[in-house]
Structure 1
């Protein structure tokens, strides 16, 4: 899952888990780092009490009010087929419901339970090849019509369309293993079948998935937006981004791109059917267009108009000193997240391995962090996966100082001065960070041309195979805590398409692709160590990225926001059980 700008081992289903939506992040710029990053833990629960609605009431919570989320830039996508960024997934999760979801209360306890489904799914033959989900009775759309299993199947079917390809592809790949996920089935449009092979809906409340190979991670994959229902009659294809049809507690009241998204209550949402969401606020408004410093200044000031507000935008360095004491400090939500930020090297354009190695010796990770908040933003990285991922083990292929090694850069470049295009998000803080990288790389002997991209289209732009950029920062966190949700999405070259790519280095090495297949087929107990070994092999042999930093977040809320805590599943303030103090 991409960090805000865009998890467990297969086997025993009650094993430890690390969650996240593999999604990108582009508005980060500071993060609390008082706590050491650790593998996130939790479990899959089939306990009836955990899976039944309503969601547990929050002590002292009050119903009513309008919650405001202040953001720098608009979302790229809210369509569940295209939603792969954490801030979008948290917002989308108020509008539509997936088969499964994460239940958390701020204590660190994280449970995967049924959301639309009555439980996390039945492993029919106890071999992880056939999974069956039963939908809850009484779940209705915003027009009062019932949610059906055929709507879930159709939602998955449309995600095979080449024009709706930005979201997760786990289930799609599992249904059609080998090669690109949509090579054999391109969705229901233009005469296509209404559902892919391997999905059956024997009645309106049952959906069954049959895979050729075992996929014991299916309960986690079913928690992604991929499994959200979409009625065929309400499908507006590319325009579905603007108004997804609600199966959750809120529906879209209005959405003016780059200005604001307003959500109001879905009058047909029944809290008795929902174990995850309390839906305390009467309305939720997400505003776009303020600068990062403006947002932080307003939240620090806590004027009456902003007291029921929060932001997923991290506090920038200039404002950080004013958030460390008094009542403001009490309103800081901070901690390490599951994301690793890397400087992607477009290997289609930067084909010389020595140049890619030189970049790994050249980048001043300390300067890149200081530009967005220093230690509050994270800590220097040397690996592709985050320390929160199961099986993580520290290594450092290059052993370069965090400020870089000019002598090694000179040796590798051999007198050359490569000219490279550095794309960056066009916000104040990300521009400052890109300028720090440009200055650093220029000093190391490179010629760098900076190219800004609007935040609302950043991942779409760099996700195009033929993009005209050599370097760009991106953040990724595991969809659940195993390397299978990091290494294959980011480094399996067989999945590269014309657009919507997650493999942003565009690495396509047969040896890496073959090793991905080998690790996937190992016994569950051996996979964590094998993914970590492949992590190191990719860096040692191909250097397709420069690991820059392990992410942390440092967010602020207004004084009238209650039950605000950092989501272990998404790495930002959660909204499922938040409330506005009356």
Structure 2
């Protein structure tokens, strides 16, 4: 089966996957890069990492079978990372794929990374206690039979074969032409079985990338130092320019950007990781002297209101929610007008298959409480809204609750700590109706976003289908389209997008956003990933240390 028709997105020439990574003009080796962020990472366990900034810092710590190499100007290509190439479709039908690991990739303790280590990483992603990371590969291998992870069922994953010390073959019941993309996720990060501590592994993960963890004080700081066994000749994407990377946590968004703007002391070597609040962003944008340091970049990220369809079962109630939501108010409270663009389609605009169909719920920027009230017909449904802790998230949650209350709903806003948020909503049977989620397609194409609505993937924990939609017609359509070549599937995904929103309302798209944040004057090589929509650091360096 031909890989997805995405131009030069997949590096078909093996030479493109060879190390070292392309040199960065002006880069120098040494010094300390400082990263300012608002809180703890959700996870440092690679198989549990799924939030964008956790994925970005994971680039420095963990290798994966494949990886996107970006140029900082919007160009990206999928290359072999641990693997010598982005994979080989053995039979040409997308059901059996082979990967050969490159030699000389080593963990921080000096041991060479083997196929067994990658297989163990994949295997542990099935364990219920660590199932809150990416699920695509787990679901696809799950087609071969039930498997509950290595702690319960032993090391052998159905459909995953280790061939010698450096070979892997993955076999699937159904075609999966997107597999080279799926194995770029940290599900495929290698984990030595004898170092695996289960749910506690994130406290001391074994690095395979250019850096390792030297110190971690949760919620306060994380210090990375070079992995002495990382070899640039084996890595087609990453560099290890700084001697150290020091992440300071608990720094409010505005304070991050005010400090980097002041450019004093270590803050000249710092990156503000989080978006500046509206008032600070306006100042940064208006200051022409910051042009070379300011990141003001379009992202693939869209904020959605997710509806738990297992609890909110009445379609008219879900449609009333869509009419009532004050998109502009939520955007203003979280980002401000300059940092977000209102949207209504489920698929982001840059995704293959996107079509800007008419909004089925034309409620204007601030919602239409009258139209919502008509659908409710005198009812006042109670809705429990789950919201991450922190001013940024709670501001959006309050704006959401207020707009729903105006339409006749009775809302309860429940705050939860950030590391527990996704694990909670991905657990079947949780007691919440609505939650704000920021999402992007996991790779080019619509399948990763719309495929989440396949109800056959719902399990006790770790659900990508966190809206718990389980409609036989939708499930069948996702399966049908998923078997099509990407060029044929694009229009079909667009039609499914509109059908889902019009006839099921599992989510309401709110706004996409720009990343607006600042780096210190001594920082180079940091850019906003067109793929993740957050800063990435594998080209980073510092000047005049």
Residue 449, structure 1, aligned to residue 415, structure 2: no
Residue 225, structure 1, aligned to residue 186, structure 2: yes
Higher relative CO (CA 8 A, sep ≥ 6), structure 1 or 2?
1
Structure 1 residue runs of 5 or longer lacking an equivalent are: 1-10, 18-41
Structure 2 residue runs of 5 or longer lacking an equivalent are: none
Partners of 2:383 and 2:158 in 1: CA distance = 44
Indicate how the Cα distance of structure 1 residues 436 and 43 shifts in structure 2: closer, same or farther if over 3 A, else same.
same
Counterpart for residue 237 of structure 1? 198
Give, in angstroms, the shift of residue 509 of structure 1. Answer: 1.8
Give, in angstroms, the shift of residue 14 of structure 1. Answer: 7.0
**Matching residue within 434, 444, 454 for 1:481:** 444
Residue 78, structure 1, aligned to residue 39, structure 2: no
Counterpart for residue 67 of structure 1? 33
Partners of 1:223 and 1:417 in 2: CA distance = 45
Indicate how the Cα distance of structure 1 residues 327 and 78 shifts in structure 2: closer, same or farther if over 3 A, else same.
same
Indicate how the Cα distance of structure 1 residues 210 and 349 shifts in structure 2: closer, same or farther if over 3 A, else same.
closer
Counterpart for residue 37 of structure 1? none
Structure with bigger helix share is 2
Partners of 1:433 and 1:340 in 2: CA distance = 14
Aligned pairs for 1:29-108 (under 5 A) are 42-108=8-74
Partners of 2:138 and 2:396 in 1: CA distance = 36
Counterpart for residue 344 of structure 1? 306
The answer to whether the Cα contact below 8 Å between 1:376 and 1:554 also exists between their aligned partners in 2 is: no
Counterpart for residue 406 of structure 1? 369
**Matching residue within 377, 381, 396 for 2:339:** 377
Give, in angstroms, the shift of residue 448 of structure 1. Answer: 2.0
> Equivalent residue of 1:176, what SS?
helix
Indicate how the Cα distance of structure 1 residues 420 and 323 shifts in structure 2: closer, same or farther if over 3 A, else same.
same
The answer to whether the Cα contact below 8 Å between 1:14 and 1:45 also exists between their aligned partners in 2 is: no
Counterpart for residue 511 of structure 2? 549
- Measured against aligned partners, the alpha-carbon deviations of 1:396-451 in whole angstroms (never above 9, x if no partner) come to 11122121112211211112222222222221122222222222222222222221
Counterpart for residue 522 of structure 2? 560
Compute the TM-score of the two structures, normalised by the length of structure 1: 0.90
The answer to whether the Cα contact below 8 Å between 1:339 and 1:475 also exists between their aligned partners in 2 is: yes
Residue 314, structure 1, aligned to residue 275, structure 2: yes
The answer to whether the Cα contact below 8 Å between 2:64 and 2:189 also exists between their aligned partners in 1 is: yes
CA RMSD between the two structures: 1.7
Give, in angstroms, the shift of residue 523 of structure 1. Answer: 4.3
Counterpart for residue 256 of structure 1? 217
Give, in angstroms, the shift of residue 48 of structure 1. Answer: 4.1
Partners of 2:213 and 2:177 in 1: CA distance = 35
- Measured against aligned partners, the alpha-carbon deviations of 1:143-174 in whole angstroms (never above 9, x if no partner) come to 11111011111111111111111122222222
Aligned pairs for 1:382-397 (under 5 A) are 382-395=344-357, 396-397=359-360
Counterpart for residue 27 of structure 1? none
Partners of 1:439 and 1:504 in 2: CA distance = 24
Partners of 1:195 and 1:458 in 2: CA distance = 31
The answer to whether the Cα contact below 8 Å between 2:302 and 2:348 also exists between their aligned partners in 1 is: yes
Residue 458, structure 1, aligned to residue 424, structure 2: no
Give, in angstroms, the shift of residue 375 of structure 1. Answer: 3.3
Aligned pairs for 1:490-509 (under 5 A) are 491-509=453-471
- Measured against aligned partners, the alpha-carbon deviations of 1:265-297 in whole angstroms (never above 9, x if no partner) come to 111111111111111111112222122222222
- Measured against aligned partners, the alpha-carbon deviations of 1:512-536 in whole angstroms (never above 9, x if no partner) come to 1122122223344321111121111
The answer to whether the Cα contact below 8 Å between 2:135 and 2:462 also exists between their aligned partners in 1 is: no
Indicate how the Cα distance of structure 1 residues 354 and 212 shifts in structure 2: closer, same or farther if over 3 A, else same.
closer
**Matching residue within 469, 472, 481 for 1:510:** 472
Compute the TM-score of the two structures, normalised by the length of structure 2: 0.95
**Matching residue within 215, 224, 240 for 1:279:** 240
- Measured against aligned partners, the alpha-carbon deviations of 1:539-576 in whole angstroms (never above 9, x if no partner) come to 11111222111232212211111022221221111111
> Equivalent residue of 2:47, what SS?
coil
- Measured against aligned partners, the alpha-carbon deviations of 1:476-516 in whole angstroms (never above 9, x if no partner) come to 11111212111122x12222223322222222222211221
Counterpart for residue 154 of structure 1? 120
> Equivalent residue of 2:98, what SS?
strand
> Equivalent residue of 2:236, what SS?
coil
> Equivalent residue of 1:177, what SS?
helix
Residue 193, structure 1, aligned to residue 154, structure 2: yes
Counterpart for residue 38 of structure 1? none
Indicate how the Cα distance of structure 1 residues 296 and 523 shifts in structure 2: closer, same or farther if over 3 A, else same.
closer
Indicate how the Cα distance of structure 1 residues 496 and 300 shifts in structure 2: closer, same or farther if over 3 A, else same.
same
